[in-house]
Amino acid sequence: MKMTIAYLYHDLLNLYGDVGNIMALKYHLEEQKIDVTIKYLSVNDKKYFNKYDLVYIGSGTDKNLLIALEDLKNYKNDIKKYIDNNKFILATGNSFELFGKYIRIKSNVIKTLNIFNYFVEYDYDLKDRIVKDVNYKCNLINKNIIGFENHPGYLNSKEEHLFEDEGVKKKNFYGSYVIGPLLVRNPEFCKYFIKELIHNKDSKYKIIDGNYKLDELAYKN
């Protein structure tokens, strides 16, 4: 099996070691005897969503996030079709904010892709910016999700949460504020995600046990 992953805005949206998610995906997919190609794409690079098995996008500064947004707007219809076709998107940190209705920063409303029914409100006057270690329940696996959050945005969503009162899960779109990186620190979730990704392409593909020893250490520590 061959699999192509598009890593969007790798040069703009890569805070908190987000590239670790790509490294984990490549390593564990190759354990499954899958030929993995990573497309490192940024602003002005042509994007062919119909050719990707997974799109990954990480977190970034507010300025870089808006730069990425302007580029993504050129592909709104392609992204919507991609999601409707049950293809996979993993968006970590503040990048998943781009797929909702808007981001409000005080009185400034920034229209985002409007693919999902959620919005985010920033208020920099508040002193309770969300900066914390997290431990969330997850209905998709038996173990809790650990990681870190650091963002001024407050999610207002009627969509299904990915984790306990956090993030967004719609079809095969996975969006979460959890960074750290998410897949490296949560091996059970990584196993689940990889299994779903593979079986979405070939439901009969035989999954073998991978080596998650280092991942388990990251989870325990």
Domain boundaries, the chain: 2-220
**Is residue 19 packed enough to be buried (19+ CB in 10 Å), middle (13-18) or exposed (0-12)?**
middle
* Model confidence pLDDT, tens digit, residues 21-70: 999 999 999 999 999 999 999 999 999 999 999 999 999 998 999 999 99
Question: Which CATH number does the domain 2-220 belong to among 1.10.4080.10, 3.30.930.10, 3.40.50.2300, 3.40.50.880?
Answer: 3.40.50.880
Confidence grade of residue 102 (pLDDT, cut at 50, 70, 90):
very high
Average per-residue pLDDT in the chain? 94
Size (the chain), residues: 221
Max mean pLDDT range (14-28, 153-167, 182-196):
182-196
Q: Report the pLDDT averaged over residues 99-126.
A: 89
pLDDT score, position 45: 98
Among 203, 201, 197, 208, smallest CA distance to 1 is for: 201
Confidence grade of residue 107 (pLDDT, cut at 50, 70, 90):
confident
Q: Report the pLDDT averaged over residues 154-180.
A: 94
Residues above pLDDT 90, as percent of the chain = 83
pLDDT score, position 122: 86
Q: Helix or strand or coil: residue 2?
A: strand
pLDDT score, position 202: 97
Rounded Cα distance, 90 and 85, in Å: 15
